[in-house]
Structure 1
Amino acid sequence: MARRRRRGLLGQLARSSRIGLVFVVVISGLWYWQEGDVRDRLSWMGVPEWQWNDWRSWNRVLRNDGFLVGWSDVRGEALWVGYVLNRVDSPRSQPRPDRFEPDWRSLWPIGSDDYTHSGYDRGHLAPNYAMSVVHGRDAQLASFLMTNITPQRPKLNRQLWQRLEEAVIDDFVPRFGRVWVVTGPVFDDQLLHRVGFTQVPVGFYKILVVPGQTPRALAFLMPQDVSGNEPLARFLVTVDEIEAHTGLDFFPQLPDSIERQMEGYVETAGWGLEAVSTRPGRYQ
């Protein structure tokens, strides 16, 4: 009798396990489908893909209101951040948050205090102002998570990089109506050069894309050691060059014929870059 009860109990457990497994598979599939839909709305032609032959470019996608993060547990920071900016008729930013917050999704306990007396600013990848104006308060607050922050030298963060961010939201977005952005750091081989748990980049890239029948792209690569007052145009590069530096494949769903043209050449026609290249920044 006891043996029959044990067999009956084991049978119930087996059936429950199968039901539980089916439930997990279904829920996971629905989650992946929903996440894929969100990624499509926050990225153009697919999220950047990492190269399988370089473990340092491995990353996992973190979703926030308004932007996606390609997070590297190896580097302790984002390898890329992607978002879209739309024209806003009456831009109005919410008050700037007064603190940076840790992100529980990070493998490492990365905090704002890591940067104190380090010589590096807490540099945003998804910009505070643009997130607030275009995507709202929740996106702005998410931009103050430490997974969106990177070590930037003050003259880059407060001057040259700031000027580029201003040109994007104040000039390029109103000109085209919508601009897709992918931005992130570039590293050297000094894996242990860190602020806290975060590896210090040697430079930063920003890729701007305006979709269309013939999509256009504008890409910048800026080193950390700038004076801050250089013309933005000095740092123009091709998307191919940024891919070579990062080990990432940007816009992987783009047809090859369009990819070769858009990623292999620097083409500034139509952007109005001349008007903003040497313009002083808002905080200079």
Structure 2
Amino acid sequence: MKGIKSVSTLIAGSGMLLAMLFAACDDTDERAELSSESNLSAVPGAGGEYTLNVGAEGSWVISLSGTGSQWCNVDPLRGVDDGVVNVVIAPNDERTSRNTLLTLASGASRDTLRITQQATEENFTNVIAGRLEIPRLTGETDYKFIDHSVTYQNKTVHNYCMEYNLPKRHARWVAFKAYDVTAADNVSRTDAWGDDPQVPAEYRTTKTDYSGYDRGHLVASNDRRYSKEANEQTFYYSNMSPQLSGFNQKIWQKLEEDVKAWMQDAALRDTLYVVKGGTIADDQIIKLTGEHNNVAVPKYYYMAVLARKNDSYKAIAFWLEHKEYSQPYHLKSLTLTIDQLEEKTGIDFFPGLPDSVERTVEAVCDVNDWTWITE
């Protein structure tokens, strides 16, 4: 019995020793603490540099959730004991806020800090939400945004819009979108020449202001044939540009025919977004014409075209000098990327695209993505 008691005592003593050892382990100051004097829950869209205080016993590591590592640079990501880390947050080019969860791990201890960066406010400046075809507006007083709509099949349909330069009596750009309804050919050309009621009377043009030139449509009559009213609006003088006949009735018309075919190609697009115009910057006009020499004659004409099919996009742009071209026209040789066209025109096309999409789509122009009528 004494032997059994001794064994029991030994076992009990061993248990107490193990408990004491585990207790000793539990008594260590294992910790992970993050703190910052800055408000990282509302980082401005412009980004910035910040510091974080790390409290830890022993080695530690920092990780970022989601896409945080793409725009939030933490240095160092690893260390030992207490320390300081630098956090550099890149400008937010997106139109929505973004966030990441920063996690500090030291042994079994964890601490987290959420970093939220606001959208850059300037990304919203002069952008009309929900209208992907509309370029960024200038916001200048010499320009007037004009939006024409029609009632069709008991619905309001955006027909086309423009940013009209009042002193130069010429649109900076016109824009419209084509889908199954608006790409249809239901009516013929109306020849309904007339004043645009949205242009103040003192900044309107008349037929005589185009003497020596064609009254060249920017939004082509052929592009808006889904309803009589829609076609009539293309004959507003605000939609006219003084074009050389050898340009308007030849290469420009051929290019418009290709674009019209894309408008009606359901395999290419669910929606086709089109922006067109003539250059009216002081160094990009041929001259001022008209009865009072106040109508700009563009030196160049351009188009920017964006096709959306399901959730994918493709884009193509054109840049043409205002002159007569000899045949064959080689339209493919006149293509460029949207980025390149933006450089030439100073216009921000399709600003409503998510920036991650815009950066990719606007940097590429592949002529093989498009079918061609005119070579």
TM-score, L = length of structure 1: 0.71
The question of 1:209 aligning with 2:292 is answered no
RMSD: 2.7
* CA distance in 2 between partners of 1:88 and 1:50 (Å): 27
Q: Alignment partner for residue 222 of structure 2, among 112, 117, 129?
A: 129
Identical-residue share of aligned pairs (%): 24
* CA distance in 2 between partners of 1:72 and 1:113 (Å): 19
- Unpaired runs of 5+ in structure 1? 1-38, 279-284
Decide whether aligned partners of structure 1 residues 226 and 234 sit closer, same or farther in structure 2, where only a CA change above 3 A counts.
farther
* CA distance in 1 between partners of 2:356 and 2:349 (Å): 15
* CA distance in 1 between partners of 2:206 and 2:279 (Å): 21
Residue 290 (structure 2) aligns with:
195
Partner letter of residue 163 of structure 1? K
- SS of aligned partner of 2:176: strand
Q: Alignment partner for residue 69 of structure 1, among 141, 145, 162?
A: 162
Residue 164 (structure 1) aligns with:
255
2:175–2:274 CA contact under 8 A, matched in 1 = yes
- Unpaired runs of 5+ in structure 2? 1-127, 151-158
The question of 1:269 aligning with 2:374 is answered no
Report how far residue 271 of structure 1 moved: 1.1
1:60–1:72 CA contact under 8 A, matched in 2 = no
- Which deviates more, 264-273 or 57-66? 57-66
1:22-61 correspondence to structure 2 within 5 Å: 43-44=131-132, 47-51=134-138, 58-61=143-146
Q: Alignment partner for residue 221 of structure 1, among 319, 335, 341?
A: 319
TM-score, L = length of structure 2: 0.55
More strand by share: 2
2:318–2:335 CA contact under 8 A, matched in 1 = yes
* CA distance in 1 between partners of 2:362 and 2:198 (Å): 32
More helix by share: 1
Report how far residue 111 of structure 1 moved: 0.9
Report how far residue 87 of structure 1 moved: 4.0
* CA distance in 2 between partners of 1:184 and 1:228 (Å): 22
* CA distance in 2 between partners of 1:248 and 1:152 (Å): 21
1:188–1:202 CA contact under 8 A, matched in 2 = no
The question of 1:254 aligning with 2:363 is answered no
Residue 210 (structure 2) aligns with:
115
